[in-house]
Amino acid sequence: MRLNLINICILFYSMLCLGQDLRPYGLHLDDQMEVPAGEIYDVVEDLEHQKWIASGSGLYKIGMNQFELYRSDKQFGQSVFNPIVDSRNRVWFTNLKGQVFCVEDEKVNLKYATKDYENGFMPLLSSNDQAVQVVTRKEILSFPYKQKGYISHPIVYDGFPVTKITELNEGQFLLHGRRLLKYDSLKGYEFVQKAPYFPSLGGTILFQMGTRLIYFYQDSIGFHFVDLYRNQESTEIFNELKGLSIVQITNHKNQIWFCTSAGLFIYEMIDGLPVFQKRLMESRVVTSAIIDFKGDFWITTYRNGIYIFRPRTIEEFVINDPNYFINDFIPDANGGLYAIQNEAIFHHYNPLESTKPIDLKRRNNNQRLFHDSDSDRFFLQNTSLYEIKDDALKKRFDQPGLKDFDIINDRYLISNYANIYLLDKDFKTEHAVKGRTQFSVPGENVILSLHQGSMVLFDFDLHRIKQILYQNKPLILTTAVHLQHDTFLGINEDKELLRIKLDNDILSVAKVENPNIEELQTELVDIVHDSPFVYGLTRSGIFRWQPATDELIITRLDNLLNWKGMYKLKKGPDALWVQDRKRIYKLTGAFIPETLPQLHLSLNSISTLKEQFPMDQATSLPHSYGGLLIKSSIKGLAFDHGYALEYKWSPEEAWQPALSQPSGFVIPQVKSGNYTLHLRKHDPLTGAFTLPLSIPLMVDIAFYQSAWFWLCTLIMLLIFGFVVYTWRSRYLEKQLEKKLTEARVDNQLTMLKLENLRSQMNPHFIFNSLNSIQDYILSNDKKLAAKFLVRFSRLMRVYLNHSQQTSITLQQEIDTLDLYLSLEQDRFDKSFDYEIKVDDTIEPRNFMVPSLFLQPYVENSVNHGLHHKHGPKEIKVHVEEKPSGYLQIHIEDNGIGRESSRQLNAHLQHESFSTRANDTRISLMKQYHGDQLDIHITDLRDRDNQPLGTRVSITLPLIHKRHAVLNN
C-alpha cells in the first residue's frame, strides 16, 4: 500500500540498539552491478521470483548481474510508478501522464490512458484472482482475466479523495471521501457505510489488521489513524511522524511499517491501536521494502540505490567500559541481558526501561549468572548466592567458594570447594555430600557431576550411583548438557563430543558419529541444548545439530565475527548469544528456517582454463586441461554474493570447496577416467544448500600412454622417408593447381559480376522507375521527381562502381540495399516496410562481403514475395556474428511464399537471371572458401501449414578488411 507520490524514501539497516551497533548481514546492490536509475520508487516480486523496480528512468527487471528495461513506444516520459503483479504473473504500472501499462510475453502494452493527470492524479492499481482494477477520479476500470478489454464503472468526482481498491477478508473495498464502498469486478460498487472522518488532502491507505478495518491519511494537521470498527479517529498516536512525508505504508504480520522522508518507523498493533516500537535508517529516504520468497529484504531508496539484507542481525553489546573483561552474562525475556564486568560491577540492560549498574564491592573471578525459567528468577553466584530482583541483589545462600548452581525440579543444586548442597525453594538444606564439585547437570532421574576430579552420577537425593569411565579411564568433561531422559552430551579434554546414556542401569559412553561434527571437534569450545537442537560454539563458527535426525547446519559468518576469541555460548528466547572477553554478541536468525524454499543451481558456462565447451552433452576433456572454470547462478536470485561453490567427483566423496576467482569458480584437474561432476552452492551464513547439479565428464588418457601411440611410432619410422618425399611432390603439384584454379575462378567471377550487373539493372525496374518519375513530373511534383531521379542515378552509379570489385565492405553492401529498397518502396507507394539490422557486436565498416551479393535475394522478396500479397508487407534483413568466425545474414519477408509465387508465375516460364547467376557465383566461391559459405532457403508456415513468407539464411566467412587488403 502507498500514499500519493510525494517524496520518496528508504532505509539501510543502520540501527542503534541500547547504545550498541546493530550490523546487518546485507549488500548494497549498487556495489554488485550497475543500477541504471538514480531515483527508485518501488520494488515488487513476480510469481517466478523475479524482481522489478519502478524508477525515474523506467521499469526494470533485475536479472543475473543486469537490469532489463521495459518500455512502450506509446509511453510518455521515463518515470513509472505503482508496479503490481497480477495472478497471471503480469506486471502492471502507471506514469505521471495517466497511462496504464502491462508487461505480458516480454512486451509492454498500453492498456488505458486517462486525462486525470491534468489534475495531478495518477491511476491507482490493484488486483485479485479475477481481474486487475484501475481507479481514477471519474471511473473504476476492471480488466477481467477471462475476457478482453475492460469494464468501466463510473463514479462521481465531488472533490473528495479516493483510495486504491484493497483486498480484505470480506471482499474488495475502497474509500470515496467518507463513503466506504464494496467493489465487485463485474457488478461494480455498492455503498457500505459512512466513515467518521475523511481526509482533506488525499493519500489515504485502507487495510485490515485482525478483525478491524482501519485507514491512515495525512493532511495539513498531521497523520491520522481511523478505526472504522470503533468509529474513532486519533492523531496523537503518530507524534513520531509529525513533520515527515509518508511515502508508503505496509503491514507485516502484526506490524505497520511507515516509509518516511527520515527513515522507517515500525508500529506494533496492540489492543487495536498502533504502538511505536522503533525507528530505523534515519539517514536514508525510504521508498519501498518487500520480503522476497527467500526471506531476504529488498529495500529501495531515493538516490541511494537498492539494499538487500537478510532478516538476521548481529547486535554487539559493549558493557560499560570495553577495557574491562566480562565474567559472565545471561539473556532475559525482554531482549536484554544481565552481565558481570571487571569481577565487581553487575549490569542489567533492559530495552524497555533504563537500569543502573550495581557495585558488588567484593571481587570474585568465579562469578556466574543463572535463570530459573519455571519461576522466572535470576540468580548471581558470587562469594554468596544472590537473587536479582528489581535491579537489586538479595542474599539467598551464604557458603564460601561457590562453584556451581542449578535447578532440579523444585529444588536448587549448589556446589562449592567442599560440598554439594541440595536446597528447597526457600534455600533450606535438604541434603549435602562432601567433595569438591566443579559443575553438575541434572537429568530426568540422575545428576551428572564433575566430582572430585571425574564424572560421577548421583540420584536426586545425592546418593552416588557410579563413576563414569571412558576408554578404561575416569572421564573428565569440560562442559555438558542434558538431552532427554538420562542422556547427556559433553566435551572431554580431548575436544571430543561424547554421548553419556543411562538406560535401565546400563551406562554407555560413546563418541558422536557424525563426519561433519568430527571435523569440528578439535575446535569445540561450548555447547548448549534447547530441545530439539544442540548448539555448539567452535573456533570457526557455530553449528546447530538435531540428534534425532543427525541434521547439522553450520554458520560461520566469517566476515562479521572473530570466532577464535569466543569462549561462551548461551541460548535466549529468540536468539543465540556468544561472548569474548570484552563483548557480547546477540545473533538473531542465524540459522536457516525449516520452511525456506529449496534453491536450484543453474549452470551458466563451463570451460577448461583454455577453452569453452557445450554444457548440454557429456564432454571429453583432454588429458592436460588444467582445471575447470565454472560460472553458475541460483534461480530466482538477482545475485548470489557470498555463496560458495562445492564439488565432488563421485557420490561417495565428501564435498570440497572450489577456488573462488573474479571470473568464476575453479575446480582442479583430475586423473584420466569417466566422472560425474556434482556441483552445489552453499550459503555460509545460513548453511543452506542448493539442489546438486550433475555433469558427465570424461578425461582422456595421455596419448603417449596408449598402445596405438607406440604402434604408430614404429610405422612412422619405417615409412617416414617415403611419406616426406610423397608429401613434398604432392604439395608442389597442389600449389600449382591451386594457383591455376584461383585464376580461373577469378576470371569466371568477373564475368558473373558483369552478368549479375546486367540482371540487377532490371529493365522492368528501370521502366517502372522512369514511369514513377514521369508521374511526379505530370503531377507537377518536381521536387519528388528530382529526389527520386537523384537516388535512382546514385543507385546506378553504385552498381557500376561495385561491379568492378570482388568484395566490398559490409557497410557498403547495406547502404546499397537500403538505397535499392527505399526506391522500391517509393515505387510501390509505400506498400511495404523494411528493416535492416546489424548486431552491436559487428562493425560493418571492418568486414568484407562479396560485392552485390544480397540484392538478388531482396529483389526476389519484393517482386515475387510481396508484390501479390494483401495486407501488411515487410522485409527484414538481419546481420549477426556466429561463433568460430562466421557471418550470418537473414533475409526474411512475410509474402506469399515460393510455392504460391511459382503458381502465379507459371505461365511466364521465366527464371530470374540474377538468381541463376548468383547460384553459379556461389558454386565458384565455394571452391575458393570451402564449406564456409552456405545458402539456405526456408519456407515459413503457421500451424495450419499456411505460408507466412520466406527466409534466406546466408553464411559467409568473417573476413576482416585488413586481411582482405593483404590477400588482394
Least confidently predicted of 50-59, 122-131, 636-645, 813-822:
636-645
Most confident of 19-33, 172-186, 399-413: 172-186
Encode 517-537: b = buried (16+ Cβ within 10 Å), e = exposed: beebbeebbbbbbeeebbbbb
Interatomic CA distance for residues 706 and 709, integer angstroms: 6
**Which three-class secondary structure state does DSSP give residue 283?**
coil
Does residue 688 surpass a pLDDT of 90?
A: no
Least confidently predicted of 344-358, 422-436, 701-715:
344-358
Handedness of CA 324, 330, 335, 340 (dihedral sign): negative
Query: Higher pLDDT residue, 893 or 337?
Result: 893
pLDDT for res 769: 65
pLDDT for res 542: 83
Confidence of residue 24 (pLDDT cuts 50, 70, 90): very low
Confidence of residue 120 (pLDDT cuts 50, 70, 90): low
Does residue 144 surpass a pLDDT of 90?
A: yes
Provide, rounded to the nearest whole percent, the portion of the chain with pLDDT above 70. Answer: 79
pLDDT (tens digit per residue) in 851-892? 878 888 888 888 888 888 888 999 999 999 887 788 899 999
Is residue 849 within 8 Å of 813, Cβ to Cβ?
A: yes
Query: Higher pLDDT residue, 311 or 498?
Result: 498
pLDDT for res 468: 93
Does residue 215 surpass a pLDDT of 80?
A: no
Does residue 89 surpass a pLDDT of 90?
A: yes
Does residue 41 surpass a pLDDT of 50?
A: yes
pLDDT for res 763: 59
Query: Higher pLDDT residue, 39 or 1?
Result: 39
Interatomic CA distance for residues 154 and 141, integer angstroms: 8
Does residue 968 surpass a pLDDT of 60?
A: no
Does residue 90 surpass a pLDDT of 90?
A: yes
pLDDT for res 1: 38
pLDDT for res 733: 87
Radius of gyration of the chain (CA): 40
Does residue 267 surpass a pLDDT of 70?
A: yes
Is residue 675 within 8 Å of 698, Cβ to Cβ?
A: yes
pLDDT for res 929: 58
939 forms beta bridges with: 950
Does residue 53 surpass a pLDDT of 90?
A: yes
Q: Is the peptide bond before 532 cis (omega within 30 degrees of 0)?
A: yes
Least confidently predicted of 261-275, 368-382, 579-593, 790-804:
579-593
Q: Minimal CA–CA distance to 955: which of 828, 869, 853, 822?
A: 853
Confidence of residue 9 (pLDDT cuts 50, 70, 90): very low
Q: Minimal CA–CA distance to 580: which of 360, 378, 336, 316?
A: 316
User: Which whole number is the average pLDDT over 323-349?
Assistant: 75
Q: Minimal CA–CA distance to 818: which of 798, 803, 841?
A: 798
pLDDT for res 927: 62
Confidence of residue 15 (pLDDT cuts 50, 70, 90): very low
Angle formed by the axes of helices 782-802 and 810-827, nearest 10°: 150
510 forms beta bridges with: 499
Does residue 201 surpass a pLDDT of 70?
A: no
Does residue 762 surpass a pLDDT of 80?
A: no
pLDDT for res 335: 67
578 forms beta bridges with: 569, 585
Does residue 421 surpass a pLDDT of 60?
A: yes
pLDDT for res 270: 77
- pTM, whole model, 2 decimals? 0.45
Cell 525510504 -> residue:
286
Query: Higher pLDDT residue, 64 or 69?
Result: 69
pLDDT for res 104: 93
Does residue 142 surpass a pLDDT of 70?
A: yes
Most confident of 83-97, 184-198, 641-655: 83-97
